[in-house]
């Protein structure tokens, strides 16, 4: 499931990261593979601001927008605790053991955070290993340069906005509102 409005095939996240169609496809494939291998109850990928990028698994009765913000906040708080105590390293992971489900939250590169929730029947070591491996793969995916045709589309979109100044776009939009 995807949550962004797409323009020209790519979408920009609040963190400044732009996801291109080829990257989006690889992200989806990676999350589906993780869901099948574990098996995962819920997987949510967010950027560091909490904007949901993708989700897999049981999502009914889950407010993904709120959950995305909490994932980013939880990871940021855990990272800061690690920094203050001198324990910070790349790829910090938070583990919450529950009665029915265990939850892993891990950074996936500089821009993304991954939540993976697994049933308590999944061994913690197996869940941790696959979650870490997936986080590394996601970081690699978003660091890959876009395909040449994707870059061309992105540049055309940027040129379109440069041709017509942003202030003119706002003025026209306001005029349209008042004319109605």
Sequence-distant (6+) residues with CB within 8 A of 48 are 15, 72, 75, 76, 110, 111, 112, 113
Q: Cis ω on the peptide bond leading into residue 143 (within 30° of 0)?
A: no
- Spatial separation of the C-alpha atoms in residues 143 and 15, rounded to whole Å: 14
Give me the mean pLDDT over the 88-112 stretch.
91
- Which pLDDT score, from 0 to 100, does residue 72 have? 95
The tens digit of pLDDT for each residue in 145-165 reads: 877 766 555 555 555 555 556
Query: 47-56, 87-96, 106-115, 132-141: lowest mean pLDDT where?
Result: 87-96
Residue 115 has pLDDT above 80, yes or no: yes
Give the number of other CB atoms < 10 A from CB of residue 141.
20
pLDDT of residue 145: 82
Q: Which domains does the chain have, with CATH numbers?
A: 11-145 (3.30.450.30), 147-180 (no CATH)
**pLDDT surpasses 50 at 7:** no
Strand order in the sheet with 52-57: 52-57, 42-47, 112-119, 101-107, 93-97
């Amino acid at each position: 499931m995807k949550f962004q409005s797409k323009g020209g095939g790519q979408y920009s996240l609040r963190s400044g990261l732009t996801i291109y169609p080829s990257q989006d496809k690889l992200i989806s494939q990676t999350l589906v593979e993780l869901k099948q291998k574990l098996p995962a109850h819920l997987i949510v990928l967010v950027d560091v601001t909490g904007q949901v990028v993708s989700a897999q698994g049981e999502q009914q009765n889950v407010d993904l927008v709120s959950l995305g913000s909490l994932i980013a906040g939880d990871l940021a708080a855990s990272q800061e605790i690690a920094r203050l105590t001198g324990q910070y390293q790349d790829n910090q992971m938070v583990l919450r053991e529950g009665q029915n489900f265990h939850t892993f939250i891990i950074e996936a590169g500089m821009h993304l955070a991954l939540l993976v929730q697994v049933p308590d029947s999944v061994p913690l070591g197996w869940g941790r290993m696959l979650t870490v491996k997936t986080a590394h793969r996601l970081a690699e995916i978003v660091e890959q340069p876009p395909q040449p045709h994707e870059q061309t589309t992105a540049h055309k979109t940027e040129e379109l906005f440069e041709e017509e100044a942003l202030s003119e776009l706002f003025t026209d939009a306001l005029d349209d509102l008042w004319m109605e």
